[in-house]
Structure 1
Amino acid sequence: MLLFPRLDRVQVDALLEEFELRETAPNHPNGMYARHFGATGGSRISDSALADLRRKILEIASENGFPNPSNSAQRSTFDAQLTAFFADYPNLNAGEALRDDVWAYITTVLVPDVVVWRFKGITRRRFQGGVRNALQRLWLRAKALDRGPKSEDRWKFVNALTEDAFVQIVERPSICSDSRLAQAIADGWIKIAQRVGKSAMEPVMRRAVVNLRLRGEIQVLFALDDTDLDSLVNRIFFKAASF
């Protein structure tokens, strides 16, 4: 396993203060002094491999307008393409990608310019590790919503859902950690959105997720087979939409 550099929250905040003083993020800041690695468990990833990761992220960003100002369609496409990239990037298919401080390093030191471009400024929660991190949230989408390389429409859910729908799935560990449940919810969302329109789905999704989480308190959802799980999710979505 390759060990990635890590950056704790204090160091993230210190670097962001430097960015804010300059009113922008540098192209590739020197955060080498602040990073640290896990003491055991694998070999340290090389600086050349990190540079290659930056190059690949920059390529996807450039396809969608970086470094020029972007529109919502470009940002959405960037998110979808980077989600697919993370799914197949071998160096992030291990436990290191589960660490918030690894993603804090990637966003704050490796590609801060891309983060500033994507979110139109320096927003701290997009650099700090966690489900709101600019790139970590996309890796979580990949883990939860990837239908697999053999699927005819592998990224159906990633390409269809709105940002609010992603938040409802990815920011709830009880859902995000179970890819079958996450994908059943995504499928239920699509079915209802086809009837009421995406613009009407925010309250429907929130009611459905609340009811599913409550159901999960009295029923072991991961024990259901695919047919029963899909049937349950569809019933809850229909009720949430008041059909």
Structure 2
Amino acid sequence: MSLLYPRLLIEQAKPLHEQYRTLGIEELGHRAGTSHQSAIYAATGGDRVSTGQLAELRSGVLQLATQYGFPAESSRGARGEFDLRLATYLHLGMKVIPAEAASGDVWAFLALVLLPDVAYWRYPQPPGDRVLGTDITRHVLGRLWWRAQLVHSPDEPDSYKALEVLGEAALDQIYTRRKALGGSPLVVKAILRTWTTLELDGLEERAVLRDFLQRLLRLSPFVAFEALDPVVLEEELRAVAVETMTALRAVSKDRVGPIPAGAGE
């Protein structure tokens, strides 16, 4: 069963964000709620989430956040671990389909109405796109659900293990290019499987991934990655990754250049 969540349109979300960015975490907690007078729902597609289910979702997120320092300040490492666990929790607990999760207004409601204290704790005084839903790839909650959606492997013992393959910045590189690569969990998971087999041997991970994805983007108009047999897909990805590493090693070697005669004497 898929659920429909309340949506907070940008006209109502922006004024709330302007108010909330200057408030303390405790005050934001007092303002949290399971409904908003201006919230709307999609006309079709599932059952509306109940206030009880929203309250349960809030309670679960609060319990999780508390383990990582909420409401006090936390370390970068703790926030990263919180994100990993929250991605799994949201994906398992929200019971939404991708079409519903693609609405930024849903995420605006969750960040500004249901969980404002957690949202502004995770990103103190955030820019608007962290809470408004104008860019889900940067939204405090939305980006995590979509990461989990793209890597979820129900046939694996740990179906969300792939969330740990790359760090946040690297996952963002893949996520922001998902449309050009077909927006397919199949393709994303194949990219991650390929990545785990690479031996970088001193190459910078971020540079390798960036070049690798750029090469895939250049191929995407000519190769229907989603239509490839899984074995063929991984062979193609592996070949592109090897091209990337070969090219980067050549550039690195050229920068070093030949050793001048007499050096080290």
TM-score, normalised with respect to structure 1: 0.89
Distance 1:26 1:160, change over 3 A: same
| Aligned pair partner of 1:44 in 45, 48, 55 | 48
- What is the match of residue 159 of structure 2? 154
1:187 alignment partner AA: R
Cα deviation for residue 134 of structure 1 reads 0.8
- What is the match of residue 2 of structure 1? 3
| Aligned pair partner of 1:26 in 5, 25, 28 | 28
1:87 aligns with 2:114: no
| Contact in 2 for aligned 1:107/1:115 (Cα 8 Å) | yes
| Contact in 1 for aligned 2:3/2:94 (Cα 8 Å) | no
Aligned length: 240
| Aligned pair partner of 1:182 in 181, 185, 188 | 188
Q: Which has the larger radius of gyration?
A: 2
Post-superposition CA distance 1:214-238 (Å, at most 9, x none):
1111111112111111111122122
| Contact in 2 for aligned 1:12/1:108 (Cα 8 Å) | yes
- Structure 2: segments with no counterpart, 5+ residues: 250-265
Q: What SS does the aligned partner of 1:240 have? A: helix
- What is the match of residue 133 of structure 1? 139
Q: What SS does the aligned partner of 1:6 have? A: coil
- What is the match of residue 169 of structure 1? 174
- The 2-side partners of 1:36 and 1:57 are apart by 23
- What is the match of residue 209 of structure 2? 205
Post-superposition CA distance 1:52-105 (Å, at most 9, x none):
111111111111111121112211111111111223225324632221111111
- The 1-side partners of 2:207 and 2:56 are apart by 41
The structure richer in helix per residue is 1
Cα deviation for residue 122 of structure 1 reads 2.6
Structure 1 runs (4+) deviating above 6 angstroms are: none
Distance 1:87 1:44, change over 3 A: closer
Superposed counterparts of 1:44-63, under 5 Å? 44-63=48-67
- The 1-side partners of 2:152 and 2:47 are apart by 28
| Contact in 1 for aligned 2:131/2:140 (Cα 8 Å) | yes
Post-superposition CA distance 1:109-162 (Å, at most 9, x none):
1111111121233331110212211111111111111121x3134233201211
Cα deviation for residue 41 of structure 1 reads 4.0
Deviates more, 1:219-228 or 1:28-37: 28-37
| Contact in 1 for aligned 2:20/2:28 (Cα 8 Å) | yes
- What is the match of residue 236 of structure 2? 232
Cα deviation for residue 204 of structure 1 reads 1.2
1:13 alignment partner AA: K
1:202 alignment partner AA: R
- Structure 1: segments with no counterpart, 5+ residues: none
Distance 1:105 1:213, change over 3 A: same
Cα deviation for residue 18 of structure 1 reads 0.9
| Contact in 2 for aligned 1:175/1:181 (Cα 8 Å) | yes
1:11 aligns with 2:12: yes
2:151 alignment partner AA: L
Deviates more, 1:180-189 or 1:204-213: 180-189
1:32 alignment partner AA: H
Distance 1:176 1:163, change over 3 A: farther
- The 2-side partners of 1:164 and 1:2 are apart by 30
Identity of aligned residues (%): 28
TM-score, normalised with respect to structure 2: 0.82
- The 2-side partners of 1:67 and 1:176 are apart by 39
- What is the match of residue 142 of structure 1? 148
| Contact in 2 for aligned 1:131/1:171 (Cα 8 Å) | yes
Q: What SS does the aligned partner of 1:174 have? A: coil
Cα deviation for residue 29 of structure 1 reads 3.6
